[in-house]
Amino acid sequence: MTSLFIVGFFILTLIVLYFIPRLLVWTLAMFMYLGLIYEIAVGTRVSIFAFSIFSVFYLFIVVFFNLKPLRYVLSRLIYWKAKKLIPGISPTEKLALDAGDSWYESEVFNGKPNFEVLHNSHKFTLSAEEQDFLNNETAQLCSMIDDWKSSYIDRDLPVEVWDFIRKKGFFGLVIKKEYGGHGFSAAAHSEIVMKISTRSGFAGVTIMVPNSLGPGELLQHYGTEEQKNYYLPRLAQGIEIPCFALTGPTAGSDATSIPDRGVVAYGEYKGQRVLGITLTEINKRYITLAPIATLVGLAFKLEDPDNLLAGIGNPGLTCALLPHDHPGLEIGDRLLPMNQAFMNGTVRIKESFIPIDWVIGGQIMAGDGWRMLVESLSIGRSISLPACGTAVALFSTVLTSAYSMIREQFKTAIGHFEGVEEQLAKMGGLAYMLNAARQFTINAVDSGKRPAVASAIAKYHLTENGRSALIAAMDIHAGRGIIMGPHNYLATLYQGAPIGITVEGANIMTRNLLIYGQGMMKCHPYLQTIYESLTGNDGFKIFDEALFGFVGSFAQNTVRAIFHAVTCGAFAKGYPASKFNSYYKKITRLSSSFALVSDSAIVFIGGDLKRKERVSARLGDVMSYLYMACATLKYFKDNDERVSDEIFVRWVLEHCLFNAQNALFDVLDNFRVSGIGCALKMCVFPYGRMYKKPSDKLDHQLSQSLLNNCETRNVFKSMCYVPELQDDIVGRVEIAYKAVLATEPIKERIHRAIKAKQLAKGDMAHVIIAAKASGIITDVEIAILDKAAKLADEIIQVDEFGPYELGPKNAHPEWAGKIKI
């Protein structure tokens, strides 16, 4: 009887901890002693002794943790010990941690995602004006671009394209209308960059940069009124072409280590002695648009040895604006990133003096550059690079599904081979996931958020998975994909894919340091408060409250995770209105497991999490996959739950759950304290691995849906530039694809006739003649077959160059030196 009572009491305690972990539970203590009296009356001596020990221990816990004078004894010991052990944090790291906001990833992080919040959040929409610009000006710009000619022959966009970009305000997409810009939403910005990027990666970069992290963005948020009124109209009209110079040879991802110096000093400007900055030994590289920039944004470390700032502004990383022709400024040299023709180059200054008013935001903003950059970066990373990564996945999926029906081997469209099906399903699923995550993260920006963690998730996973989709596309195209030329619609995207991986925070750093590192501080309800109380002065009381809040939260997460694990998530929170309710429950179950493992890592690894990058990366993977699963469910619901989307949603959810589960296993298998890792694994995965990757059957269904031009594929296509014009290679692929689809019923009839012995097997041309003679097909249907065969034959051809068009052939002396004239 005693054991049953203890078990029941323990369960009741856990329930209380689940709901009200910090309540003064005198009521439970009273029930415990009533139970003890009962045991004295009817139990044995052993049971009385056992229960007495249990009750005394429990009463001690209740009293100790809820009476502050007693609790302070323990918390003071922990406080002073932790204060000595906590790793230091630099001012720049603190700025990075403080900058930006959390978004829905905080729901995932804390183990109890609220799906009502998910579905009631901002919906991705374009205004009528924005949609019109996307349908007309953006499509017209795409039609003017010859990617092969611009990328490999001219190494630049034509003059008429530059003029069109200026005239139509492509450099002022996000500049407010009061300054002459379009004032478009983040959603429109993303859609426009994405569509252009499906036509030309380097054109997409050209439009992306002035509207992302750069002078325009910084001026809008931090510039003085004088700076805004002068520069923003000029930027919006394309009178000024901006660039922003941050990265240098010794400072890439670690931007705070830039050696470029500026010293506050008095100097001459326009014949007058003014307070300013002497810039010395500035050396920047990888600066997009620098070779053609007329306005250069520059980041440097400001020093003020003579205290000339006089309390207005501070030394530290500072951002300023310089006209391209300012004395001492050297720009113009070009770099060639992965053979991509977008303008990229160097910015150098040996010595130059600039007025203090050229600091963005004026003198008062001196030393505030790092905060400005970090806050703006969270917006840029949410929009531009995710748009480019998604563009690659969508375009690859649309064109490869078409090519897989056009290209035949062994008298069968290659899309029907299981190996191709597997890759095609992966592409379609990833494209759907990336687009959903892109839109969901954009929603945060359009809601007024600066999503620091969500932007890192989007930047990393959308560029990485975009590259994965493109690699699959290249594998399916095989030889057709590797021969360069005007008719290769994948090669320039393939060459440019690594660029998105490396810029605005290299992906290795983003995954290993930023996603979970920032997420831990931004999303955990108590951790940042604890950290700040330890690194500040006299923070004991704040520490005590936050510490025991953490203890209560840890207890909740433990109970929740074990309960959902033991019950396989049967009682986890779902979304009953959805046909995917079971997946909502699975997300909740894994989210609760993640919260427990994350809390355990914080407790048992502590400050070393900053250095245990692989643990941090895997925890970030769990959070990221659950975030993208939630984004997919929101996208599906927001788009009226299209029937054709259902298999894509199921594929994405199974892909995300499988990868999140595996990442958790990897964390626990490599946990610092192996015994704790094993115990946690038993708690959160008592039955082993529960989730499997998408099945072969689901892969087959998804790939066949794409091959048969389902509604979802057409939605993908609408986001890309795919003109159905015969003089455009992309358009010709789509025309040929539809022509091939039109032959499917005819071919099926012929196949049935062969199976029924009405026709003999043989060469297709002879079979068609026999089918016509037998009345199985008509002359009109033969014309349909001939047209499709002709169009398909054009598509599978590759570009050829003349004997000396690509250069000399020096193997034979008599041919040496010959080139195309």
How far is residue 139 from each of residues 256, 334, 340, 396, measured CA to CA in Å? 40, 29, 22, 19
| Numbers of helices and strands, H then E, in the chain | 33, 9
CB count in 10 Å sphere of residue 780: 9
**String of b and e for 493-502 (b: at least 16 CB within 10 Å)?**
bbbbbebbbb
What CA–CA distance (Å, rounded) separates 707 from 404? 7
Answer for the pair 791, 732: CB distance below 8 angstroms, yes or no.
yes
How far is residue 27 from each of residues 5, 12, 53, 710, measured CA to CA in Å? 16, 12, 19, 61
613 is catalytic: no
Give 218's contacts (C-beta < 8 A, 6+ positions apart).
244, 297, 319, 360, 372, 376
322 bridge partner residues: 296
What CA–CA distance (Å, rounded) separates 816 from 808? 6
**String of b and e for 783-808 (b: at least 16 CB within 10 Å)?**
ebbebbbebbebbeeeeeeeeeeeee
Strands 408-409 and 412-413 come out as antiparallel
Answer for the pair 280, 354: CB distance below 8 angstroms, yes or no.
no
Return the structure tokens found at 511: 């995954």
Answer for the pair 435, 652: CB distance below 8 angstroms, yes or no.
no
How far is residue 806 from each of residues 146, 354, 801, measured CA to CA in Å? 19, 48, 7
What CA–CA distance (Å, rounded) separates 355 from 277? 6
Answer for the pair 333, 291: CB distance below 8 angstroms, yes or no.
yes
Return the structure tokens found at 47: 């049971």
How far is residue 706 from each of residues 544, 573, 703, 712, 784, measured CA to CA in Å? 57, 33, 5, 8, 22
- Out of 107, 191, 504, 781, the active site residue is 504
By annotation, the residues acting in catalysis are 504
